[in-house]
């Protein structure tokens, strides 16, 4: 159960109702709606991360889901395994993300991105060796997008866990 009540729909502005509707009234957004201006900017940056960059969507979703795993955020893991599947992440890859290092279902770019995500979450910064490995495989733009995606979803995972956001019922899942 969430630590505080979700925002009151009766108090939502038209813009907040619009944003919530676009996001299927998912619990994370209902909680974030306590701060409508932050909700709007969160959605703007999240939309850019998920829909406007050059980073391969499979690489992005593998890194985001791995970030959720490292942050111990089940809501995030569930949502992004589903999103990943919709962009081409295989069931085998989703299942292997807990122990990706020993899995054979990831290509070189995906492995480098997962190592980068691991170190970005666990350390103050990725090591030089890990950074060089991923930088050799991505354009500077895609590399920036990868780092921002991991950082954004660390923040998202911490938000979810801080407020103990309830999982969505299966009938209300985000596509």
User: What are the φ and ψ backbone dihedral angles of 164, each rounded to 5 degrees?
Assistant: 50, 55
pLDDT at 175: 40
Question: Which has the higher per-residue pLDDT, 168 or 112?
Answer: 112
Q: What is the pTM (predicted TM-score) of this model?
A: 0.93
The DSSP code sequence of 83-117 is HHHHHT--HHHHHHGGGGGG-SS--HHHHHHHHHH
Q: Give pLDDT tens digits for 138-155.
A: 999 999 999 999 999 999
Note the pLDDT of residue 152.
98
Q: Measure Cα distances from 9 to 18, 33, 111, 117, 136 in Å.
A: 12, 9, 43, 36, 48
Gap between the Cα atoms of 50 and 83, Å rounded: 10
CATH superfamily of 57-162: AhpD-like (1.20.1290.10)
pLDDT at 166 over 80: yes
- Short-list 26, 31, 38, 42, CA closest to 7: 31
d(CA 12, CA 46): 21
The pLDDT tens digits for 21-61 are: 999 999 999 999 999 999 999 999 999 999 999 999 999 99
3/1 Cα distance (integer angstroms): 6
Q: Give percent of the chain above pLDDT 90.
A: 95
Mean of all residue pLDDT scores within the chain: 95
| pLDDT score of 168 | 79
Does the pLDDT at position 83 exceed 80? yes
pLDDT at 6: 97
Average pLDDT over residues 103-112: 98
CA distances from 135 to 118, 119, 129 (A): 15, 14, 10
Domain boundaries along the sequence of the chain: 12-51, 57-162
- Report the alpha-carbon distance of residue 86 to residue 108 in Å, rounded: 21
């Amino acid at each position: 159960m969430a630590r505080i009540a979700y925002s009151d729909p009766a108090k939502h502005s038209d813009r907040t109702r619009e944003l919530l509707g676009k996001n299927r009234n998912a619990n994370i957004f209902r909680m974030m709606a306590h701060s409508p201006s932050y909700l709007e900017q969160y959605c703007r940056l999240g939309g850019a991360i998920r829909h406007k960059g050059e980073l391969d969507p499979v690489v992005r979703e593998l890194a985001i889901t791995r970030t959720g795993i490292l942050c111990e955020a089940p809501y995030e893991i569930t949502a992004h395994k589903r999103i990943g599947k919709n962009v081409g992440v295989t069931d085998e890859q989703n299942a292997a993300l807990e122990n990706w290092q020993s899995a054979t279902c990831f290509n070189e770019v995906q492995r480098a991105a997962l190592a980068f995500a691991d170190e970005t979450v666990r350390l103050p910064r990725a090591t030089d060796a890990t950074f060089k490995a991923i930088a050799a495989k991505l354009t500077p733009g895609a590399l920036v997008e990868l780092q921002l995606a991991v950082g954004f979803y660390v923040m998202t995972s911490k938000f979810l866990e801080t407020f103990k956001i309830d999982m969505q019922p299966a009938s209300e899942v985000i596509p």
